[in-house]
């Protein structure tokens, strides 16, 4: 069977950084309050950048580092909940900017699990021979859909993009991926579409903004993520200790510590970069992988696990081979 491995990485963040202290000038909060509850100290916020420009920048670096030609890329998937346009897709815009002319391009909406969902799709298409090399991107500008007066959300979410090029190969390095959803928790994280005029009925104008039940999401993440990781490890016949690094969706430092405790492994194995990037939803896992990559050596085993609105989750076990 055809396998898949990581061949290139890319990352892009806005130039503007916003500290906790600066946020405390906007809402009733403080650096101590945010840091102690989330682990976040600062975040990148777009001013001139867009979801599309960040996705293009990260994708371009990933393709260059993959050393594959643009002609070799035949699948482009972007995971995002904050596209600049519903159509064309962000993936089509990325392909146009990079000169990728013969690829299947589409976006995926699975919130903070989006990158793992998109990777599972790429994995399936490559392993069945439909595609050969895939460019998978997580890109978000969540600052445009945050209520900056809502302390429960505005201190968390941020902007950025991460990209991975997956190469089809006989030497498979993506061992197992599992995804799932729990629709009964759909109202725990929501983002409505904007209101608009319609000829045949009236609709109340809605300003899109993320709304979240923080306690509910915390409970979901700290119970579902460990089970998902254990499922993947069981299928692949690995133990939690066999994994060198864990990359969880960068939502909350406490969640990662709780998962480490559940799995009975050192929290030092859980890579964190949310202190300077915050929660970038679908972009957080590929951005974290990019930041971790200088520490990785060939043969390292990694778990990546995303969780978020839907409610959705996705976990993958893979080997580093670059």
**Do 160 and 182 fall within a single domain?**
no
Would you say residue 266 has pLDDT above 70? yes
Task: Look at 69-73, 195-199, 287-291 and tell me which has the smallest mean pLDDT.
Answer: 195-199
- Domain assignment of residue 68, given as a range: 3-171
Phi (first) and psi of residue 77, to 5 degrees: -125, 130
Pair of tokens at residue 220: 């979901």
> What average pLDDT score do residues 37-64 get?
98
- pLDDT band at residue 206 under the 50/70/90 scheme: confident
Strands (E), the chain: 3-12, 17-19, 42-44, 75-79, 104-108, 133-141, 159-169, 174-181, 189-190, 211-212, 245-248, 301-308, 312-319
For position 204, what pLDDT does the model report?
Answer: 73
**Do 79 and 215 fall within a single domain?**
no
- Report CA torsion sign: 272, 277, 281, 282: negative
**Do 236 and 315 fall within a single domain?**
yes
Would you say residue 127 has pLDDT above 70? yes
Q: Please state at what angle helix 51-66 crosses helix 90-98, rounded to 10 degrees.
A: 50
Would you say residue 92 has pLDDT above 80? yes
- The mean pLDDT of the chain is 96
**Do 12 and 144 fall within a single domain?**
yes
**Do 224 and 107 fall within a single domain?**
no
Active site residues: 112, 249, 279
**Do 224 and 279 fall within a single domain?**
yes
| Dist CA 128 CA 134 (whole Å) | 13
> What average pLDDT score do residues 129-133 get?
96
**Do 68 and 123 fall within a single domain?**
yes
> What average pLDDT score do residues 115-119 get?
98
Domain boundary among 171, 199, 226: 171
What digits encode the pLDDT tens for the residues 223-247?
Answer: 999 999 999 999 999 999 999 999 9
**Do 179 and 299 fall within a single domain?**
yes
| Dist CA 77 CA 134 (whole Å) | 8
**Do 115 and 246 fall within a single domain?**
no
Would you say residue 110 has pLDDT above 80? yes
Asked if residue 305 lies in contact with residue 111, where contact means CB atoms within 8 angstroms, the answer is no
Asked if residue 183 lies in contact with residue 194, where contact means CB atoms within 8 angstroms, the answer is no
**Do 97 and 246 fall within a single domain?**
no
Would you say residue 201 has pLDDT above 90? no
CATH of the domain at 39: 3.40.47.10
Would you say residue 26 has pLDDT above 80? yes
Q: How many domains does the chain have?
A: 2
What digits encode the pLDDT tens for the residues 68-90?
Answer: 999 999 999 999 999 999 999 99
Would you say residue 168 has pLDDT above 70? yes
For position 1, what pLDDT does the model report?
Answer: 58
Domain boundary among 154, 171, 188: 171
**Do 157 and 293 fall within a single domain?**
no
Tell me the whole-structure pTM to 2 decimals: 0.97
**Do 76 and 204 fall within a single domain?**
no
What digits encode the pLDDT tens for the residues 293-316?
Answer: 999 999 999 999 999 999 999 999
Domain boundary among 171, 194, 227: 171
């Amino acid at each position: 069977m055809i396998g898949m491995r990581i061949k290139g990485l890319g990352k892009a963040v806005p130039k503007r950084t916003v500290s906790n202290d600066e946020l405390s000038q906007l809402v009733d909060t403080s650096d101590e309050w945010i840091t102690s509850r989330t682990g976040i100290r600062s975040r990148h916020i777009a001013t001139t950048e867009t979801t599309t420009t960040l996705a293009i920048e990260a994708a371009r670096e990933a393709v260059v580092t993959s050393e594959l030609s643009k002609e070799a890329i035949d699948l482009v998937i972007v995971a995002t909940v904050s596209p600049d346009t519903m159509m064309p897709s962000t993936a089509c815009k990325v392909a146009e900017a990079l000169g990728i002319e013969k690829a299947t391009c589409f976006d995926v909406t699975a919130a903070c699990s989006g990158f793992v969902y998109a990777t599972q799709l790429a994995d399936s298409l490559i392993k069945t021979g439909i595609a050969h090399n895939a460019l998978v991107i997580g890109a978000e500008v969540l600052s445009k859909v945050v209520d900056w007066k809502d302390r429960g959300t505005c201190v968390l979410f941020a902007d950025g993009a991460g990209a991975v090029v997956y190469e089809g190969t006989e030497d498979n390095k993506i061992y197992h991926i599992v995804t799932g959803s729990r629709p009964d928790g759909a109202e725990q994280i929501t983002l409505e579409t904007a209101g608009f005029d319609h000829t045949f009925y009236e609709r109340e104008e809605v300003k899109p903004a993320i709304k979240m039940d923080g306690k509910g999401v915390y409970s979901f993440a700290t119970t579902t993520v460990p089970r998902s990781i254990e499922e993947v490890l069981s299928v692949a016949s690995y133990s939690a200790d066999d994994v060198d690094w864990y990359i969880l969706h960068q939502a909350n430092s406490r969640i990662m510590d709780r998962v480490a405790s559940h799995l009975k492994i050192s929290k030092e194995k859980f890579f964190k970069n949310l202190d300077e990037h915050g929660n970038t939803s679908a972009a957080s896992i590929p951005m974290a992988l990019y930041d971790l990559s200088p520490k990785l050596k060939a043969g390292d085993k990694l778990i990546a696990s995303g969780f978020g609105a839907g409610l959705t989750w996705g976990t993958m076990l893979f080997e580093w081979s670059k």
